[in-house]
Amino acid sequence: MGEISPDFPEYDNQTAKVWDQLAEWWDDKIGDGNDFQNYLIEPATERLLALQSGEKVLDIACGAGRFTRRMAALGASLTAIDHSEKFIKRARERTTENADRIEYLVLSATDPSALASLGQARFDAAVCTMALMDMSSIEPLISTLPKLLKPGGRFVFSVTHPVFNSGSSHMVAEQHQQDGKIVISYGVTITDYARPYAYMGLGIYGQPVPQYYFHRPISLLFNTCFNHGFALDGLEEPTLPEELKGQSRILLSFDNMPTMPPVLVARMVLK
């Protein structure tokens, strides 16, 4: 049995088209933040990235640049790329501070030659925030990153958690009695995990068109990095705080599951 590929190149063009349709709507909806960004993704990414002032960082699939601007505010110099011109246009419009430390480029992370043009051993770190699961092909990026990073450089990425928040996961609620009270317990069931597959879903309720997702089990994600000279150096599975429980208007949501991690954040370091 041959090695399993993490890539779905047949979806490259479709994925780009969908995000051109979604970019402006997506930025209007969550460009100023949401609970996942505020409590889970950004704090964990900042801890693992451990930025030092003056470092050069590559922000991959930057979208409208929310996290790019956070890193610039911490003193880093950024090259931020996204394949969507609409996202990059929004990112430039939103950048009113530290603009001298940010370079925005329309560039596809699935194009190794375009990535290589960014410069050899140029960056101290690279970050990819909640985008690898949206990318049809990740091997071009991960195989090129060792050329772009300085020796010992680090790569921090966040994804929807492949175990608890993927195409085959189903949120469930069960009502039972406990100590004379009626209690509702919330959880997740999984029906398909070990194989990689593509599916369409909604990142935000109400979005105008569904997006493509690419499920890759944790072993496939990590082994793709290991195969190109990275070592796992840090890992977080952040959960939403208990005080958010019951606040969501959506009954089956991670707000009601404070012990379930909806995202996974990892730090890879070049060996």
Residue 184 confidence (pLDDT): 87
- What is the extent of the structural domain holding 77? 9-270
Alpha-carbon separation of residue 172 from 130, 181, 187 (angstroms):
24, 20, 5
The residues with which 211 forms a beta bridge, in sequence order, are 201
Q: In this structure, is residue 187 part of a structural domain? A: yes
The sheet with strand 263-270 has its strands ordered as 102-106, 77-82, 56-60, 123-129, 149-160, 263-270, 230-236
pLDDT over 50 (residue 41): yes
The residues with which 268 forms a beta bridge, in sequence order, are 155, 232
Supply the mean pLDDT for the chain.
94
The residues with which 35 forms a beta bridge, in sequence order, are none
pLDDT over 80 (residue 206): yes
Alpha-carbon separation of residue 187 from 41, 190, 259, 263 (angstroms):
21, 10, 9, 15
Q: In this structure, is residue 2 part of a structural domain? A: no
Instruction: Give Cβ neighbours of residue 24 (< 8 Å, ≥ 6 apart).
Output: 86, 90
pLDDT in tens, 54-85: 999 999 999 999 999 999 999 999 999 999 99
pLDDT over 90 (residue 92): yes
Q: In this structure, is residue 68 part of a structural domain? A: yes
Q: In this structure, is residue 60 part of a structural domain? A: yes
Q: Are 161 and 135 in contact (CB under 8 A)?
A: no
pLDDT over 90 (residue 253): no
Which position has the token pair 């880093």? Answer: 76
Percent share of the chain, pLDDT over 90: 86
Q: In this structure, is residue 193 part of a structural domain? A: yes
Please tell me the pTM assigned to this model.
Answer: 0.94
Q: In this structure, is residue 26 part of a structural domain? A: yes
Q: What average pLDDT does the segment 208-232 reach?
A: 97
Identify the band that residue 249 occupies on the pLDDT scale cut at 50, 70 and 90.
low
Identify the band that residue 178 occupies on the pLDDT scale cut at 50, 70 and 90.
confident
Residue 1 confidence (pLDDT): 43
The CATH number covering residue 52 comes to 3.40.50.150
Q: What average pLDDT does the segment 211-223 reach?
A: 97
Q: How many domains does the chain have?
A: 1
Identify the band that residue 2 occupies on the pLDDT scale cut at 50, 70 and 90.
low
Residue 205 confidence (pLDDT): 86
Q: In this structure, is residue 191 part of a structural domain? A: yes
Residue 216 confidence (pLDDT): 98
Q: In this structure, is residue 1 part of a structural domain? A: no
